[in-house]
């Protein structure tokens, strides 16, 4: 197409021309700090999670640092209306994560606050989750959790209470006997993942594993 010639895709880091299925050029790709966590082994995400809730396994794709390329990548995905990036990141994940014979039963990503969803227009985790679902042949459920929105009355209360309310989720149907892989973009405190994990664990005899695009180590 003529537009592709006039406006080719460019590397988000250095602006070199790249193929349409790329996000960064080959040189910049080498600068991404992929972390080679073994999903089944001890790793820092698992250690952090364990302080908050019982976790089975965990995987993080990239290191999330100040001035890091991973920060730029996640920023493009979340704030630049480039939801297709989720598919590319899922491809990088699929090349590095092997569930062996212990595939989780269901993929569930962190839901957005309805207000944020309206602002952004998309949940940045959906295409990522759907691409992984197709690759690993594991079903996904985008409707299993709802993020609770705070009422006006609650919003008037102190900020601490409001933050707490924003971080609550409700499960829309009871589940039991499932191993659920919880998906988020960046792991920082782990509080959001913990809030959802506890809902899953309270719902029935379930197990929870974690997959994040990046971790702030
Ligand atoms: Zn580049």
Please give the distance, rounded to the nearest whole angstrom, from the Cα atom of residue 179 to the centre of ligand 1. 39
Q: Which residues crowd ion ligand 1, with CB under 5 Å?
A: 11, 13-14, 16, 25, 28
Contact call for residues 195 and 167 (beta carbons, < 8 A): yes
Question: How far does residue 134's CA lie from ligand 1's centre (Å)?
Answer: 29
How far does the centroid of ligand 1 lie from the alpha carbon of residue 30, in Å? 9
Question: What's the gap in Å between 149 CA and the centre of ligand 1?
Answer: 40
Distance 29 CA to ligand 1 centre (A): 7
* Confidence band for 2, pLDDT divided at 50, 70 and 90: low
Q: Give the pLDDT confidence of 135-149 residue by residue, as tens digits.
A: 999 999 999 999 886
Give the DSSP H or E segment for 77: helix 69-79
Confidence class for position 41, pLDDT limits 50, 70, 90: very high
Give tens-digit pLDDT for 86-139. 999 999 999 999 999 999 999 999 998 888 888 899 999 999 999 999 999 999
The structure's pTM equals 0.90
Q: Are 36 and 62 in contact (CB under 8 A)?
A: no
pLDDT tens-digit series, residues 155-171: 556 666 555 555 689 99
**59 alpha carbon – ligand 1 mean position (Å):** 26
> pLDDT value at position 82?
86
Which of the 8 DSSP states describes residue 27?
Answer: H
Q: What is the pLDDT of residue 68?
A: 86
CA of residue 8 to ligand 1 center, whole Å: 14
Asked whether residue 30 carries a pLDDT value surpassing 90, the answer given is yes
What is the distance in A from the centroid of ligand 1 to the CA of 42? 33
How many Å lie between the centroid of ligand 1 and the Cα of residue 7?
Answer: 16
Expressed in angstroms and rounded, the spacing between residue 17 Cα and the centre of ligand 1 is 8
The whole-angstrom separation of Cα 170 and Cα 173 is 9
pLDDT of residue 3: 66
For ligand 1, the distance from its centroid to the CA atom of residue 89, given in whole angstroms, is 16
Kindly state the helix (H) or strand (E) to which residue 29 belongs, with its residue range.
Answer: helix 26-29
Mean of pLDDT values over 152-157: 55
Provide the mean pLDDT of the chain: 90
Average pLDDT over residues 21-48: 93
């Amino acid at each position: 197409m003529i537009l592709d010639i006039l406006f080719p895709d460019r590397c988000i880091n250095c602006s070199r021309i790249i193929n349409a299925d790329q996000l960064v050029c080959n040189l910049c790709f080498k600068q991404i700090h992929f972390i080679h966590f073994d999903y089944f082994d001890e790793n820092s995400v698992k250690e952090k999670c364990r302080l908050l809730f019982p976790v089975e396994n965990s995987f993080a794709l990239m290191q999330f640092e100040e001035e890091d390329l991973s920060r730029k990548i996640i920023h493009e995905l979340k704030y630049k209306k480039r939801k297709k990036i989720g598919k590319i990141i899922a491809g990088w994940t699929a090349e590095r994560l092997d569930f062996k014979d212990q595939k989780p039963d269901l993929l569930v990503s962190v839901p957005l606050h309805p207000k944020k969803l309206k602002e952004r227009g998309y949940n940045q985790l959906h295409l990522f989750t759907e691409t992984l679902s197709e690759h690993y042949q594991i079903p996904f459920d985008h409707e299993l959790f709802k993020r609770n929105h705070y009422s006006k009355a609650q919003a008037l209360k102190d900020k601490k209470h409001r933050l707490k309310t924003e971080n609550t989720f409700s499960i829309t149907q009871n589940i039991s006997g499932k191993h659920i892989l919880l998906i988020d973009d960046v792991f920082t405190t782990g509080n959001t993942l913990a809030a959802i994990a506890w809902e899953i664990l309270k719902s029935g005899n379930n197990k929870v594993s974690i997959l994040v695009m990046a971790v702030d180590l």
